[in-house]
Amino acid sequence: MPDADDRVVPVEILGQRYPIRSALDDSYVAELASYVDGKIRSAAQATPTSDMVRVAVLAALNIADEYFRARDTERDRQHLLSARVVGLERLLDDALNA
C-alpha cells in the first residue's frame, strides 16, 4: 500500500516516460532518472547491440561498480579517521599524565 506522502513523479529515460511513485523530492527523483539515463546511453554507445535489456544490465553494473568503489573509499576514510582519533586520544592522555 503506498505511503500517504508518496506521489507520482514522471521521469524520462531513453525517451520512455515512467511514473515513479516516491516520497522523495521531485527534483531529486528527476536527477536520479537523468543519471540513469546518461549511464544507459553511455552503455548503449559502448556496446554494439540493440538488446536494451543487455544495455540496461551493463548500465546497472556500472552504477553498482561506482557505488561499491564509493562505499569502499568511504569505509577506508572512516578507518583512517578512527585511527587518527585514537592517536589524538593517546597524545592527550600522555599530555594530561605528564
pLDDT digits (tens, 9 = 90+) for 49-73: 889 999 999 999 999 999 999 999 9
Planar angle of CA 92, 95, 96, nearest 5 degrees: 85
4: pLDDT strictly greater than 70 = no
Distance CA 48, CA 36 (A): 19
pTM value > 0.85: no
Mean pLDDT of 7-33: 96
- Nearest in space to 47 (alpha carbons), one of 66, 62, 31, 36: 62
List of residues 6+ apart from 25 with CB closer than 8 A: none
68, 52 Cβ separation under 8 angstroms: no
